[in-house]
Amino acid sequence: MDKIPVDIATAERIRLGTEDIAVLASSADTGGALFAVQTTMRPGGGPPVMHRHGPGEVYYVTEGEFTFYLGEGGEARRIVARAGEVVPLAGDTPHTIRNESQTDAVAFVVHAPGAPMEGFTRAVAALAAQDAPAIEDVLAVAEAHGIELLGPIPSHAARV
């Protein structure tokens, strides 16, 4: 794989709910191996439910802070990652990521393999562009891309 020149100012942008995603390397650019993005999440943003998927992810926080909820049931824990910190997530880890702060949070994120997460991101963004997408459509897109939705964030998640 060769290097990929990227100008963050002109990178492709995907709007997904409360996130602005700049595509740095698509799965097509990397032969399906990776999907690398810069994500900017507004305060209060992030997926509202716990989920899991096959691809692993690595988050490098560059600005602000993200709150990660990891695990299920009594094993759930809450991790706050700030600028300069890395959070690696193995594939199939139950999780969600939120911005519970009062300022935007920015991270460099790599998904591996890239194709499933890129496909999901693009499909959900297309649905989100509709006025009120049906929950059945969102669930179908998640299932088609190997995303298992697990339910609400555990209120008892232990702070780490």
pLDDT single digits (tens) 105-137: 999 999 999 999 999 999 999 988 877 778 888
Give the start-to-end residue ranges of the domains of the chain: 13-153
Instruction: Please give, one letter per residue, the 3-state secondary structure of 27-39.
Output: CCCCCCCCEEEEE
The residue that leads in pLDDT, 4 or 64, is 64
Cα angle 58-144-113, degrees, rounded to a multiple of 5: 30
Query: What's the CA gap between 145 and 105, in Å, rounded?
Result: 26
Residue 69 confidence class, pLDDT cut points 50, 70, 90: very high
Determine the pLDDT at residue 121: 94
pTM of the model: 0.91
Query: What's the CA gap between 40 and 116, in Å, rounded?
Result: 21
DSSP-derived letter for residue 45 is -
Query: What's the CA gap between 15 and 118, in Å, rounded?
Result: 13
The alpha carbon of residue 137 and the mean position of all alpha carbons in its chain are separated, in whole angstroms, by 19
Determine the pLDDT at residue 51: 94
Task: Tally Cβ neighbours within 10 Å of residue 47.
Answer: 19
Average pLDDT over residues 99-105: 97
Which CATH code fits 13-153?
Answer: 2.60.120.10
What's the mean per-residue pLDDT of the chain? 92
